[in-house]
Amino acid sequence: MKLLRYGPAGHEKPGLLDEDGNVRDLSGHVADIAGDVLLPGSLARLRALDAASLPRVEGNPRLGACVGGTRKFICIGLNYSDHAAETGAQIPPEPIVFMKATSAMVGPNDTIEIPRNALKTDWEVELGVVIGKTAKYVSERDAMDHVAGYCVVNDVSERAFQAERQGQWTKGKSADTFGPTGPWLVTADEVPDPQALPMWLEVNGHRYQNGSTATMIYGVRFLVAYLSQFMSLQPGDIISTGTPPGVGLGQKPPTYLKPDDVVTLGIAGLGQQRQNVVQG
């Protein structure tokens, strides 16, 4: 299934994408794509519905972040061997973990706002892992039982805030609009191997990132198990798993986002995003 949330910001309704690419309304069955709706039993009940019998949403509605009520937006840094090489960083002996504020989450086609006083706003296409069942001290063997599905994330980053202003990375990752998420949550049964997904990102039609989840250092199974040793992972939590090479920081010379840029990105089978860039 491809689950989504549509409508004005802050007032999104639950929906799904049918086989013909139509948005179907799920409001008669669930209140939101959030919380217990992501449990395995709840997803099974949604999967059993006849999509053609659901109300069709006319027009081209705005899509919100594909998951609601997210309490933790957990990011993994330098998790692609080829990206680590491009930045001149050593491969970390354990995953680099940081948090992105959930208030950064926006829809997949919403505007990206460059923060005031920002100097180096960058892009990062990433595979998002959506937790469907609480994970606490789980093993790698059982880790995938706790994954509801996957989505596209643009981990927008302000490098000057992140690396030149002291302290942790969070303040360079958490500005409003820095977390476009979606367009939809693709349930895990439709993604047989999350470590074999081509991914790409373009700015103004120029392709900067052209990678694959195959080069992740720490894969989805490991990350779910690893993170669950330090904190419980709850339904709706998102793990953004790192980015392949081609970020603006790695260009020669470095290249960063500016007002009027257009960012497009996608992951095979998970959909695409498109964002206009403005000055905040």
pLDDT tens sequence for the chain (280 residues)? 999 999 999 999 999 999 999 999 999 999 999 999 999 999 999 999 999 999 999 999 999 999 999 999 999 998 998 776 777 777 889 999 999 999 999 999 999 999 999 999 999 999 999 999 999 999 999 999 999 999 999 999 999 998 788 777 889 999 999 999 999 999 999 999 999 999 999 999 999 999 999 999 999 999 999 999 999 999 999 999 999 999 999 999 999 999 999 999 999 999 999 999 999 9
Task: Report the DSSP beta bridge partners of residue 144.
Answer: none
Indicate whether 44 and 83 sit together in one domain.
no
Task: Read off the pTM.
Answer: 0.96
Indicate whether 157 and 121 sit together in one domain.
yes
Indicate whether 18 and 80 sit together in one domain.
no
Q: Is 214 helix (H, G, I), strand (E, B) or coil?
A: helix
Indicate whether 49 and 160 sit together in one domain.
no
Q: Give the per-residue pLDDT at 185.
A: 98
Indicate whether 41 and 141 sit together in one domain.
no
Indicate whether 108 and 173 sit together in one domain.
yes
Cα–Cα separations (whole angstroms), residue 77 to 28, 154, 162: 40, 13, 12
Domain presence at residue 249: yes
Indicate whether 164 and 238 sit together in one domain.
yes
Indicate whether 111 and 19 sit together in one domain.
no
Indicate whether 221 and 102 sit together in one domain.
yes
Domain presence at residue 68: no
CATH of the domain at 115: 3.90.850.10
Domain presence at residue 31: yes
Domain presence at residue 66: no
Indicate whether 109 and 206 sit together in one domain.
yes
Q: Give the per-residue pLDDT at 42.
A: 98
Give the CA dihedral 43, 197, 24, 65, nearest 10 degrees: 90
Indicate whether 161 and 32 sit together in one domain.
no
Q: Which domain holds residue 6?
A: 2-53
Cβ-based burial of 224 (10 A; exposed 0-12, middle 13-18, buried ≥19):
buried
For the chain, the domain total comes to 2
Indicate whether 122 and 183 sit together in one domain.
yes
